[in-house]
Amino acid sequence: MSDPETRLPPQADIQPPVPSAENVRAPYSPAAPDDAPRGRRRLLILLAASLGAFVIVASIGLLLVVLINPVLRGRLASLTAGQIGPPPDSPNKFVALPDGPVAITDDFSQLSNRWERSQTRINGGAYELTLELPHFDSYGLYLGVADVRDFDMAVDVLPVSGDLTSEFGIRFRQAAPDDHLLFSISPSGYFRLARVRDETYTSLVPWTPDPRIRRGLGVSNRLRVVAEGASIRAFINGEQVLEYTDELQQAGQLTLGLVTFEQGDLTVRFDNIEGAVAPIVDAPRDEWVELREDFSDPERARWSVGGATIAQEAYEVFVGGEVVSWQQPLPVGASQVEGNFVLEVEATMVEGEGGGGGYGLMFGDDAAFNFFALIVFPEGGYMLYRNGADGGLIIPPVPAPAVRTGLNATNRIKLEVRDRRLAISINDEVLAELEFTDGVSLKGRAGLVIQGADTSEVRARFDNFRLEELP
């Protein structure tokens, strides 16, 4: 899904013509000779002004028709796309953070860029990704195989809205949200292969113009990536455009990605996926798992659904299926706490009661899918677990009378860490106190988390967020 997860003229002076004898076919008006030219001048000026007004109104009407019609808007964009240069090499996503202890509060009463706003849905028989923020990125996750190194995948990509210097494509070998490869195109007619690592975008194959790319909005291109060991080959509309040797060869998530630069509100539709993926590293080709998806059946599609936006003066996050998704205050890394801290929020589940879905807080995130998560269940309980290679349940699901149950019930969730002791409170009642050994790190990024269940959608609203480092 789009959130980090695992598993948008002045009037001319017109002189009337003087009729000649041969073109006079009727007597002049009985007006005085001196008044006749002046009267006709006024008439011509009136006609010219009327014609000018008509042209302006017609132009405005035509512009409105183009703006509300995505097909016409796309054709207009395609006419200008060839005159636009390549996108930048990197979004301004990784910025210097302020010095001093972390102190972040937010009541979500105003729209801001402090929180990611992106959505991933299956809509009208296609996989649709939307990214509202400028200078950011987002992705949708393939759920079939957890760690993918080798694969062969082709997909149709069609930008619906957004800037012509945005980019989108196949994002793969993703070991962390900001550690991956991306083969992408822009609607202005360029392609590249990029690596994101150590908070840096690097163009392994720089932005390259290619006439085989169909330019503009509302037009489709077919992308394909074949990754086998160190070999990476990429294709556009059936023709190979690059080959690259990847010395890292890391396994990771297979996703579809978006990147924005100066402008946000980018929406891209992905469809007609074909190919195969190796279920384990070095699996022979005849054991690869088929990749085929036309998104005609949302319940069958093995791609993540979810997202987040600010609505009704709250931060609304949703997820579909058995996926854990989280959100942290921006800019990236702004929520990194090193020692004692308090983390709290008011949370309300508005959709998805039952089946194991829940919402809560996350902390200790090392930016590589390792973190702690406190999940509150609308049925009246909670649990604490650690995600990652060394993860597992710390507090298994347990009933808690302090939890207000059902949909639309708001719970105040609070975590406080002091000297390696963690206190868990819900609605001002301390439910558990834990002490961790020196070998377990509680420092890292912190934020909000939501957990999906089976195929149903889970949606929660968060308000009055507070993260503060303590002395």
The pLDDT of 91-104, averaged and rounded, is 94
For residues 258 and 180, what is the distance between their CA atoms, to the nearest angstrom?
Answer: 13
Task: Give the tens place of pLDDT for each residue, 337-346.
Answer: 999 999 999 9
C-alpha separations of 177 from 164, 171, 326, 336 in Å = 24, 11, 11, 16
Write down the architecture of domain 312-469 according to CATH.
Answer: Sandwich (2.60)
State residue 30's pLDDT score.
35
**Predicted pLDDT of residue 51:** 58
Predicted pLDDT at 352 = 87
Does residue 163 register a pLDDT over 80?
yes
Each residue of 362-393: b (16+ CB within 10 Å) or e? bbbbebebbbbbbbbbbbebbbbbbbbeeeee
Q: Show me where the domains of the chain are located.
A: 87-91+121-293, 312-469
Question: Residue 438 has what pLDDT?
Answer: 87
Do the domains 312-469 and 87-91+121-293 match in fold? yes
214-232 confidence digits (pLDDT tens): 999 999 999 999 999 999 9
pLDDT at residue 456, rounded to an integer: 78
pLDDT mean over 414-433: 97
Phi, psi of 461 (to 5 degrees): -115, 135
Share of the chain above pLDDT 70, in %: 83
On the question of pLDDT at 395 being above 80, the answer is yes
Mean pLDDT score, 169-181: 97
Residue range 339-364: mean pLDDT, rounded: 93
* Rounded Cα distance, 16 and 44, in Å: 8
42 confidence band (pLDDT: 50, 70, 90)? low
Pick the closest to residue 86 from 22, 166, 26 (CA basis): 166
pTM for the model stands at 0.83
Listing DSSP states for 368-435 in one string gives SS-EEEEEEETTTEEEEEEESTT-EEEEEEEE-TTSPPSTT-EEEEEEEEETTEEEEEETTEEEEEEE
Residue 362 pairs with which residues in a beta bridge?
373, 447
- Identify the pLDDT of residue 18: 34
- Structure confidence at residue 356 as a pLDDT band (50, 70, 90): confident
| DSSP string computed for 198-251 | TTEEEEEEEEEE-TTSPPSTT--EEEEEEEETTEEEEEETTEEEEEEE-SS---
**What is the pLDDT, as a whole number, of residue 184?**
98
pLDDT of residue 84: 85
Find out whether 264 and 8 touch, Cβ atoms under 8 Å: yes
At 299, the amino acid letter reads: E
* pLDDT surpassing 90 at residue 23: no
Task: Name the average pLDDT for the chain.
Answer: 87
Output the six-digit token pair for 375. 């999940």
pLDDT tens for each residue of 133-144: 999 999 999 999
pLDDT over 80 at 154, yes or no: yes
Specify the pLDDT at position 66.
44
> What's the pLDDT at 8?
29
What are the angstrom distances between the C-alpha of 45 and each of 12, 17, 59? 9, 13, 21
Residue 316's pLDDT band, with cuts at 50, 70 and 90, is very high
Query: What would the two tokens of residue 299 be?
Result: 């319940």
Q: Determine the pLDDT at residue 36.
A: 47
- The mean pLDDT of 28-49, rounded to a whole number, is 50
Distance CA 389, CA 13 (A): 82
Q: How far is CA 38 from CA 21, 27, 51, 52, 230, in A?
A: 21, 17, 20, 21, 84
SS3 at position 73: helix
Average pLDDT (304-320) is 95
Confidence at residue 453, expressed as pLDDT on a 0 to 100 scale = 81
Does residue 261 have a pLDDT over 70?
Answer: yes
Q: Report the alpha-carbon distance of residue 232 to residue 160 in Å, rounded.
A: 28
| CATH code reported for the domain at 87-91+121-293 | 2.60.120.560
